């Protein structure tokens, strides 16, 4: 099933923004690492990680604030079509539904928390992508502040084990951006 999901993901990324592949590959890497460390279900978190942003990748403008809700539904439909176990599908859907910062759907299960933290951790692997994104969002003289705020929020939402992994990179980013402690 994992191979099927990966194939679907890479097909979906053809002709899409270049940032999706590094973002999702890094999310998968950390999801598996945290799952091993914490005893979460590795298969569930890996499948959820590959599929977590599929609706945002597919159509980033119209699904921006609901991509977790729509993505959960789409992932459920795909996995059902591919004959995946019904109970496991529910777990994957729950992870995708709760991975964003939407307070209506906070992560509750261990697998959901792992995915949300892995998603956040990936931003520490992909600093240049975040800088690129900053220049598209705000004026040049506001870029450092935008990035510092973004990284502070991202760091805050992670589980302690993920914070530990991110810490050295977070310190380096703050140093680069000139935050005074």
Q: By the criterion CB under 5 A, which residues form the site for Fe ion? A: 53, 119
CB 132 within 8 A of CB 19: yes
- Nearest distance from residue 155's CB to Fe ion, in Å? 16
Q: How far apart are CA 116 and CA 106, in angstroms?
A: 9
> Please, what is the minimum distance in Å from the beta carbon of residue 171 to Fe ion?
23
Residue 85 Cβ, how far from Fe ion at the closest point, in Å?
24
CB 10 to Fe ion: min, Å: 16
Name every residue whose Cβ is closer than 8 Å to that of residue 91 and which is 6 or more positions away in sequence.
41, 44, 48, 109, 111
Residues 6+ apart with CB under 8 A from 143: 131, 134, 135
How many Å apart are CA 174 and CA 167, to the nearest integer? 11
Do residues 71 and 52 make contact, with C-beta atoms less than 8 angstroms apart? Answer: yes
């Amino acid at each position: 099933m994992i191979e099927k999901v990966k194939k679907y993901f890479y097909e979906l990324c053809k002709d899409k923004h270049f940032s999706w592949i590094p973002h999702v590959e890094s999310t998968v890497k950390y999801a598996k690492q945290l799952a091993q460390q914490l005893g979460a279900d590795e298969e569930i978190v890996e499948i959820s990680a590959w599929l977590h942003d599929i609706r945002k990748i597919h159509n980033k403008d119209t699904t921006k604030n609901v991509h977790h809700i729509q993505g959960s539904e789409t992932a459920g439909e795909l996995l059902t079509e591919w004959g995946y176990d019904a109970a496991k599908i529910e777990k994957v859907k729950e992870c995708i539904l709760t991975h964003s910062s939407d307070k209506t759907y906070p992560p509750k299960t261990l697998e959901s928390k792992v995915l949300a933290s892995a998603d956040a951790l990936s931003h520490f692997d992909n600093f240049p992508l975040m800088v690129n994104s900053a220049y598209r969002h705000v004026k040049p003289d506001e870029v450092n502040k935008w990035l510092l705020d973004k990284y502070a929020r991202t760091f805050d939402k992670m589980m302690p084990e993920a914070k530990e992994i991110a810490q050295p990179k977070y310190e380096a980013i703050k140093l680069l951006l000139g935050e005074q402690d």
